[in-house]
């Protein structure tokens, strides 16, 4: 299955998303089919014996790694398939369940997880959470310095006038996430970040109530979303990219729902 923790269906932010969405979906579908069919190609023509498919976790996640990389390192070249490696297992398992339940909309992912049990999805999540591989940089569009300054403000300070808390308040000062359920934001591609915030605005991505990120994304303008995505994508990686221990942050109550359980990040 293709553990693509995200989708590219937004039409609000960036023309590159509109141009690349169809191609990204087609690429994902073809990759899934190739991953599933590869064991069948080994059987000789006319051989009536059932093909022997190795019953290993690596084989079962072949469709995941075909898009997200062998160790879940992501695909910075495309900007659409995010890094899974090292993200908290609780977060990854929850996103798989959201695809399973229809809260997250991305046809290849919804199809792939449809028949998986919670235990199976948890096993996949724990595999990618345990992977530790170097980060790779992705391209960032050229934006004015004022836009990057706005992005830094929103990430590090928030905007009280919009009732938007700083990203750091939930994702940690280092923006590497917090165990067991809050993902890191460092190292994610610009296109992925902006598309996910846009997806919350258009309703193609949701979380179990209270959906904190939906509240926040709908208080941001498209320009703010581009600013946040650009600043995060250009930020230098910290020396330690591991998620912070559980309890390291106290989520704010600024949007009225952030202290609740279930509304997680990107």
Cis amide prior to 180 (ω within 30 degrees)? yes
- pLDDT below 70 — which residues of the chain? 1-53, 253-266
Q: So what's the pLDDT on residue 26?
A: 57
- Tokens (6 digits) for 180: 């067991």
Using left for φ > 0, alpha for ψ between -120 and 50, and beta otherwise, residue 56 falls in: beta
Q: So what's the pLDDT on residue 260?
A: 39
Q: So what's the pLDDT on residue 30?
A: 55
Q: So what's the pLDDT on residue 81?
A: 86
* E-assigned strand segments in 133-257: none
Q: So what's the pLDDT on residue 91?
A: 96
Residue 61's nearest CA partner among 133, 136, 130, 120 is: 120
Taking only Cα atoms into account, the Rg of the chain, rounded to an integer number of angstroms, comes to 19
Taken in order of first residue, the domains within the chain and their CATH numbers are: 15-34+56-129 (1.10.760.10), 145-234 (1.10.760.10)
Reported pTM: 0.77
Residue 219's nearest CA partner among 162, 147, 264, 263 is: 162
Q: So what's the pLDDT on residue 17?
A: 44
Q: So what's the pLDDT on residue 46?
A: 54
């Amino acid at each position: 299955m293709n553990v693509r923790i995200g989708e590219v269906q937004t039409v609000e932010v960036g023309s590159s998303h509109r141009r690349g969405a169809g191609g990204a979906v087609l690429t994902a579908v073809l990759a899934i089919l190739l991953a599933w069919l590869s064991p069948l190609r080994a059987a000789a023509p006319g051989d009536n014996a059932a093909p022997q498919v190795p019953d290993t976790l690596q084989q079962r996640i072949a469709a995941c790694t075909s898009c997200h990389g062998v160790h879940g390192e992501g695909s910075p070249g495309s900007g659409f398939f995010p890094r899974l490696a090292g993200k908290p297992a609780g977060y990854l398992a929850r996103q798989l369940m959201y695809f399973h339940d229809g809260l997250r909309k991305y046809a290849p992912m919804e199809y792939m997880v449809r028949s998986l049990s919670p235990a199976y999805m948890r096993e996949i999540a724990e595999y990618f959470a345990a992977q530790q591989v170097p980060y790779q940089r992705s391209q960032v569009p050229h934006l004015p310095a004022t836009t990057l300054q706005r992005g830094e403000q929103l990430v590090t300070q928030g905007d009280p006038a919009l009732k938007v808390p700083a990203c750091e308040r939930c994702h940690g000062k280092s923006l590497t996430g917090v165990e067991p359920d809050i993902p890191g934001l460092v190292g994610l591609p610009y296109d992925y970040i902006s598309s996910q915030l846009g997806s919350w605005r258009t309703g193609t991505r949701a979380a179990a109530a209270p959906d904190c990120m939906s509240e926040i994304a709908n208080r941001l303008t498209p320009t703010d979303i581009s600013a946040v995505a650009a600043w995060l994508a250009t930020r230098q990686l910290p020396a330690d990219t591991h998620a912070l221990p559980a309890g390291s942050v106290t989520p704010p109550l600024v949007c009225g729902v952030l202290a609740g359980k279930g509304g997680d990040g990107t």
